[in-house]
Every structure is written in structure tokens, then in C-alpha cells.
Chain A
Amino acid sequence: MAESRFLRARRAARSSTSDNTVTDDPLTVLLRRAGRGDQTAFAELYDSLSPLVHGVVLKVVRDPAQSEEVTQEVFVELWRLAARFDETRGSVTSWVATVAHRRAIDRVRSEQSSRDRVARQVSNIVRDYDDVSDEVESRFERVRVRRALERLSGVQREAVELAYFGGHTYREVAVLLEVAEGTVKTRIRDGMIRLRDELGGAA
């Protein structure tokens, strides 16, 4: 599905690079240009990264209309912060996923505390369809991640997923699972170390 537009845009950006910065990572080049106010470069970044951002936001926030708002907030935030991206502190993908997840979490936690839900208009969700090779590529990636998650122990996976996708703090996870906070902290840490060993990091 759509995440492979991400791969496609990566390839496209790689071939259309005219920037003479030291890095040749296409997303970094685009982000540098965006940081200097280049809206066209930012649009290309949007095309590459919006499935990643929206996917993680949707997984945490659940509500489609709210997720759309959060995805929009994330991209405005990325635009504002573009010049402050520091490639010594991780890849563009990693940074973007971090910003997206943090925003999604902030939304669910503030929603939880305020409780005043406003009726929201649910907009039409139009999906993009991708060509077959991208589909295969992304399916492979999904399987790889699912297998890595499966290789965690049951309790580790539960703790990591409740935290990352459920949006709960580890203290809340401890209450949910009726175990000690220290136990959850350990499961999360061991689980993440295992995942890191299985998956490595984003390019």
C-alpha cells in the first residue's frame, strides 16, 4: 500500500538531487532545502513521509478525523523545525517518526484529561494504490517487523505495544497488567533491546 510511495520517492529524490551539501541521503537533502524555506522540497518530503506519519498517528489516536488533524500538526511542526534537524542525532525517518509519535501521544493524553469531546466531522478517506513491486517490497517489510515482534516474549511484546501503540506510560501499563512498575520497565527495556537487535534501525 501507500508506504511504498515512501520508497519510490526516496529513489526519485536520489536521482534528482542537485544540492551540493555533504550528505547524499535524499531525505536529508530535501529536509535541508525545506529548512531554507523551499516549499517544493517540503511537498516532496510530504509525499515520501506522510504514510509513515499518518500510519503511526492513526495507530495511536484511532479516530480518523482526529488523526488527520494530528498528521497535519506534525507536518507543520516538521516545517517549523526543519532547519534544526541534526543528522548526527539520527536519520530523517527516525526524527519524523519520533515527532509523529510524540504528537499523537500528546493528543491522546490531553484528550484523556479533558474528556470534552467535540463532535468531529469525519472526512472521506481516500486511499492511494501502489504498483505491484512496491506492494511486494512493503509486504516484505511488514512481515519482517511482525516476525521481530513475535520473537519477543509475550510479556515483552505486550508491554512494548501497550506503550507505543496504546499510548500508555509504563506506570499505566503496570496498572493495566497488574504487575510492579519495575517489572514493566524491565520488560520494556529488554523488549526494545531485542527489537533493536532484530530490526536494527531505519535507513
Chain B
Amino acid sequence: MSDIDIHHLAAAYALDALDVRERAAFEAHYPSCEVCRADVLDFRSTLAVVAEAEAMAPPADLRRRVLEEIAQTRQLSPHLPASVTDLAERRRRHRRTIATVMVAAVAAGLFLAGTLVVDGGDSPAYATELAKVFDHADARLVTLDGDGGGRVRVAWSGGAERAVLLADDLPEAPDGMAYELWLIDDSGPVPMNVLDGADDGEIRDAIVMDGGDGRVPTAWGITLEPATGSASPTGDILYVSTV
């Protein structure tokens, strides 16, 4: 699946006509793609008009059953709004910080098992990387659970030897600290990449997984580490998924 292809899935996505794998790939892509987001919005409201033309009242007693059930159903809390300061400035800062971190990591002689190939807050390049991941039958997408706020997902494929991290509304890391992503397999946590939360909390990193096929993650985790990164986790696990 090429980068262009993924943009052309908006109509099929709005129709719920994608299979599970493509749906996951598109959902990982479109929230940060202005064109696709607008397309999905448009197509959905058009389909709502089509749906309205099919309107049909349900049986009258369904109302009572619905109201009884909702009275016993807990509602989810709202998403907290991302703060809105100058995004462009923060993105520039983000770039600089990532570069600094990478230079520092190299200087410190740290060996990261994963190599950062794309830091794409607003670049379409990560979409290409993401497409490479979802081009393989073993592609997976998981959401990491955590109390830190925001939303963190990892898409990866051993076949593609790639992982793509998608984080939104991630809280800013304290001064001198940075988030670090870990692939956890039978041998324990393997450092994948130092992430930077000083941006608007949006991170789109594509990472080449050395060992590719050989790496079978049993979980993904994120900890807070000194900004230069750690070879093994020292901080608490803030976000984690089992696979």
C-alpha cells in the first residue's frame, strides 16, 4: 500500500468498507492528515443524509429498554482539550530537541536497538512508513494503557522490520527527561527510541526494528528516562500494552 493509496481510502472508510487491517491503517493515518480528515467528515455527513432517507421508527417498547439500560451504564469522561499555543513553534522546538537527543545518545555511546527513521509530527513521510507496516500480513496495532493522559498507539510488523509510534496529547516530559519506548520480548525490554513530549504532545515516529522478523514483542512500554535515554528502563512504566 503506497502513501497515495492510503489517501484514497477515505470514501471506503466512511462506508465501513475496509477490512480490519486497512481500517486500522487508515485510522492511524487520517486524524493527522488534513485532506483525509476533511474527506471523511464530508462523506460521513453525506451518508447521514442517505441514512435519514431510510429512517424507520423502532418498536415502541425499545425506548423503555434503552432508557432502563442507560440508567445503569456508566458514561466515559470527556477527552481533555489539547492546549492551543503556537503549534509551528513547538514543532520547530520538537525537531531541535529530537536532534539534540539523538546526538547526545550517539555521543554517550548508547546503542539503540531501534533506529529512528522518521520524526514526522507534520510530515507525510510517516504515512509512507505506516503503509509499509500495514503492507505486511503480520501488521498489528495496539493502544497502550496508561494514566499519564493522551493516547499512545504502536503499529508494527516483523516482516516490515518497522514500528510506528503514534502519540497524541502526550503530557510534556519534565525538564531533562524524555519518554522512551521499549519493545519487551522474552529477553526483556529492548530500547527502541527516545521520544520527546515537549511538542504539542503529538509524536509520529517510525522506527526500524533491528532483527525484524526475529523480534517478537510480547508487550510495548513507555517510561520516563533522562533525556539521553537509558539502555534499560529506570523509570516507572507509564504506558504499556500486551500484545
Interface residues of A (CB under 8 A from B): 1-3, 5-6, 35, 37, 39, 42-43, 46-47, 50-56, 58-59, 67-68, 71-72, 75-76, 79-84, 86, 89-91, 93-98, 100-102, 105, 123-128, 138, 141-142, 144-146, 149, 160, 163-164, 167-171, 173, 185, 188-189, 191-193, 195-196, 199-202
Contacts and interface: CB of A to CB of B under 8 A. Distances in A.
B42 to A, nearest CB: 5
Interface of B: 8-12, 14-19, 41-63, 65-67, 69-71, 73-79
Contacts of A6: 52, 55
Contacts of B76: 80-81, 83-84
A119 B76 CA distance: 34
Contacts of A201: 42, 44-46, 48-49
Contact of A55 (B18, B19, B56): B56
Contacts of B79: 84, 86
B8 A50 contact: no
10 contacts: A2-B57, A43-B67, A50-B58, A71-B62, A94-B48, A97-B52, A98-B48, A101-B51, A126-B61, A201-B46
A105 B18 CA distance: 11
Contact of B51 (A46, A55, A76): A55
Contacts of B58: 50-51, 53-54, 67-68, 71
Nearest to B81: A86
Contacts of A124: 59
Contacts of A43: 63, 67
B57 A189 contact: no
A5 B57 contact: yes
Contacts of A5: 57
Nearest to B22: A169
Contacts of A83: 75-78
Task: Tell me the dominant secondary structure on chain A's binding face.
Answer: helix
B54 A80 contact: no
Contacts of B66: 46, 72, 75-76
Given A43-B67, A192-B11, A90 B44 contact: yes
B50 A54 contact: no
A86 B10 CA distance: 19
A189 B8 contact: yes
B28 to A, nearest CB: 17
Contact of A1 (B42, B51, B57): B57
A90 B53 contact: no
Contact of B11 (A56, A68, A189): A189
